[in-house]
Amino acid sequence: MILTLEGISKRFGALTALAGLDLAVAEGEFLALLGASGSGKSTLLRIVAGFEEPDAGRVLIAGRDMAGLPPRLRPCAMMFQSYALFPHMSVHDNIAYGLRRAGQYDPRRVEELLALVGLSGLGARRPQQLSGGQQQRVALARALARRPPLLLLDEPLAALDAGLRAATGAELRRLQRETGTSFVMVTHDQQEALALADRIAILEGGRIAQIGPPQEVYARPASRFVAEFLGAANILATPAGPAALRPENIRIDPAGAWRARILARSFRGDAWALECALPDGQRLRVLRPACEPVPEEGADVTLAWEEAALVPLPA
């Protein structure tokens, strides 16, 4: 394990940010920590990096207890949310900063890193002369300069335009594979987490509600919170107890068993998002491919789904 967290707790005044959180991250793994804002995910990164001390619990990086070690002595690197590039230094000097502190400065290594992130030839620029996407890659190169075994990324894509995010995310994934570095990424964007990570961990109430590969967490949410947070599942009351039902698993089928009325429909380009009401008043979100014909708002339809699509949840 490159990172092991044991029973991490942290309070800020009356607010509990983390409540006995346990987590283990393997070498070379890309883990996404997903949580709503205020769920303590950034606090967790700051504790691992050494900017905050936990009230209780242990942080182990590569098996070594980090207690009392300041950030500069910890073998991990952090990529900050707003990149925190030094505005008074060139891109080259930003990337060289960590190397110089360690007495490992070598201009060739900086050139190598610039090439790695596709910014060759831009070393003399100031960060503010670069686009947002380029700044993001400088921050990444700076964090990777000393080949840390573990990289902490705080919302690495949040400051980018929507159009840039997918491409930059893929780039992040490629660099993670190429360098073999373990990534722990904090995000509030479920699409980002599902697309990039080997495993995702969902934070709720200062603890990890569920952890696992994206497909598994998506398909088998362990709790109502996870089901609703990830993919906005419908929660149905069944005789066996509550169950989650994904919007895309509901069909419009004349032979269906469930009569419903379409209250609202909105076109998303690749899909239709429908808001339907069952006769008993329960609302259902339904997602249908754009190529499928969908009745007008106010139309009565019948819906159907496979029994296997229902995921039982703890009551």
Partner 1 sequence: MSRLILALGLLFLWAPVLLMVVFAFSDARQPFVWGGFSLRWFAALAANQRLQEAALLSVGIAAGAAALATLVGLAIGWVLARHGRFAGRPAFGVLAAAPLVLPEVVTGLGLLFLFVLMERHLGWPEGRSALTILLAHASLGAAYVAVVVQARLASLGRVLEDAAADLGAGPATVFRTITLPLLAPALAAGFALAFLLSLDDVVLASFTGGPGATTLPVLLFSQLRLGPTPEAHALATLMLAALALIGAGVLWLAGRRSGALPLLPADDPPQHGRYTGDAMLRPTCDAS
Which residue, 86 or 267, has its beta carbon nearer to partner 1?
A: 86
Closest CA to 246 of 270, 268, 215, 269: 215
Distance, in Å, from the CA atom of 278 to the CA atom of 294, rounded to the nearest integer, reads: 17
For 248, the 3-state DSSP assignment is: helix
Write down the least CB distance from residue 24 to partner 1, Å: 22
Query: How far apart are alpha carbons 249 and 81 in whole angstroms?
Result: 36
Helix (H) or strand (E) holding 12: strand 3-12
- Give the per-residue contact string, 143-182, with partner 1 (x = CB under 8 A; - = no): x-xx--------x--xxx----------------------
Least Å distance between CB 137 and partner 1?
A: 12
Question: What type of residue is 145?
Answer: A
CB 130 within 8 A of CB 87: no
Q: Distance between CA 141 and CA 158 in Å, rounded? A: 18
As a residue count, the chain comes to 315
In the complex, the smallest distance separating the C-beta of residue 300 from partner 1, rounded to whole angstroms, is 45
Give me the least distance between CB of 122 and partner 1, in Å please.
16
CB 48 within 8 A of CB 59: yes
Q: Which stretch binds partner 1 (CB under 8 A): 74-82, 226-234, 250-258, 291-299?
A: 74-82
Q: What are phi and psi of 238, to 5 degrees?
A: -110, 165
Q: Return the residue of 72, 269, 270, 279 that touches partner 1, per CB under 8 A.
A: 72
Q: Which of 68, 70, 163, 281 binds partner 1 (CB under 8 A)?
A: 70
Identity of the residue numbered 265? R
The interface with partner 1 within residues 79-138 (CB under 8 A) comprises 80-88, 97-98, 101-102, 127-128, 131-132, 135
Region from 22-30, 72-80, 223-231, 276-284 binding partner 1, contact rule CB under 8 A? 72-80
Whether the CA torsion 36, 38, 40, 46 is positive or negative: it is positive
Gap between the Cα atoms of 186 and 201, Å rounded: 10
Q: In the chain, how many H helices and how many E strands?
A: 8, 18
Quick note: the x/- pattern for partner 1 over 175-214, rule CB under 8 A, is: ----------------------------------------
In the window 26-65, what residues touch partner 1 (CB under 8 A)?
37-43, 46, 49-52
205 vs 256 by CB, closer to partner 1: 205
- Which residues make up the interface to partner 1 (CB under 8 A)? 10, 12, 15, 17-18, 37-43, 46, 49-52, 70-72, 77-78, 80-88, 97-98, 101-102, 127-128, 131-132, 135, 142-143, 145-146, 155, 158-160
